Structure 1
Amino acid sequence: MKETYHKWYSPTLGRDIEMQVFGHWGYPILLFPTSMGRYHQNKDFGLIESARWLVESGKVKLYSVDSIDRDSWYAKHLHPSVRVHNHSIYDSFLTNELVPTIRHESNVDKIGVAGCSFGGYHALNFALKHPDKVAYLFSMSGAFDIRSFLEGYSDETVYYNNPVDFMLNEEGWKYNHMKIVLGTSEWDICLNDNVRMSQILNSKGINHWLDIRGWESHDWPLWNKMFPHYLSLMGL
């Protein structure tokens, strides 16, 4: 499996950013790490290996990018307004720098996004905010109400990064093209978050699959089973 490492200066973020890319060709899937995770986490915990056959066969190409969670949602030393502002800069980096590069490199109009745990939040939030850029969304054990990180603080930027809020006022037709999977399990600490998000999507007529698996915990063994399964359903 071809693996390449990338490090570059992002003018949007004002810092270096790192990423691993797996595969020589294939439909691009942008992978986010879990809470405060680094770009190499998805490899370290076996998620990349779980999809080896899809990568080596040229079905998919995986882009595992850094997060800036330590300076945004998890930055308890910063005022909540600064935390959410920093995340909005990260969203601008994805929207204006990284995703256009991936789309151009892969010759596609829309990409796939995926992530486990807090990476599932990142994937879903980005996809639902930018449906014109995403065709596939695979969230595994995500939680989607970001207000728990902000000690009661709220503003417009919080609203537009909190899917359980902004999706209540979105038009469902914008997402008709998107293949959406919300993966969870009966023992998942984020089970209720996924059921709630599924109810919101249903209320908007947005087609998706709420995949509730059996007695497995919120951890990598579950996600390493889910990920290749979801990729295999893309029909590539």
Structure 2
Amino acid sequence: MGIKDVRYNIFQYRLKQIIKRRLKGMEEPFLCIITPVFDPCLKSLEGLITDLQHQTYQNFIHVSIANGKEPKIHALIEHVRINDKRFVYDEIPFDKSYKDSGLVEDLLTINGKRRNFVMNKYDAMMYLNIGADFKLTDNQIFEKLCKTHMETRKDIIILESEVEEKKYPLYPINKHRHIDLTNFCYSKKIARSIPYPDDIDSKFDVANDYRYFDRIVNFNVIEGIYGKKDGRNYYKTIEEIYNEQHKTK
């Protein structure tokens, strides 16, 4: 199947889903969770699905995206879908580069292709990438995420997680190895206009998550203290005046 055929099939699918939602009076999913999968991650994926089903906020879809056919994962998702249609199995045409080489760089490239495929095919207001081995510890996080989005309408929302017994992201967050893909949720506008890296930059070894974050944010950090606030204070500051006027009596 050529690139044009894939794009046409994605467009057809999206159009059908829009018509289906309108006919049935359904909302567009608030959140699309993307998980690259392969059969050896079956047990981990079962745990993730259970965690997702325990979320208090339920207007989401979860897409398990494979590289070619993964029959065990496919069978699991089909079983889950008997009672819960929010869970979807999909696959890209098999890319044999990692199978042939065994190089992690090829695996990262394939993962990028999978993420972009899902972002282009499945409609949602926001997108979040979670690995099959991720353990959700807050059953209300999607509810908090939706509330934050509705109140702020921000295109990017930062989420905190635990990575190697440290709270992520680390400061400064737009730095190599300081942020993980699980730490930021982003809008459809970003998902459809800025693709996840499907190549390798040798300067950042395996840090394609950071590369994506750096693509979508609009700020940078210059490290090193350049001055000291109140370092030459010979007058009463606004903060001091405020504290005097609003101090607890």
What band does the TM-score fall into relative to the shorter chain?
0.3 to 0.5
Scaled by the length of structure 2, the TM-score of the pair is 0.32
Higher Cα Rg, which structure: 2
| Larger relative contact order (CA 8 Å, sep ≥ 6) | 2
Structure showing the higher strand proportion among its residues: 1
Scaled by the length of structure 1, the TM-score of the pair is 0.33
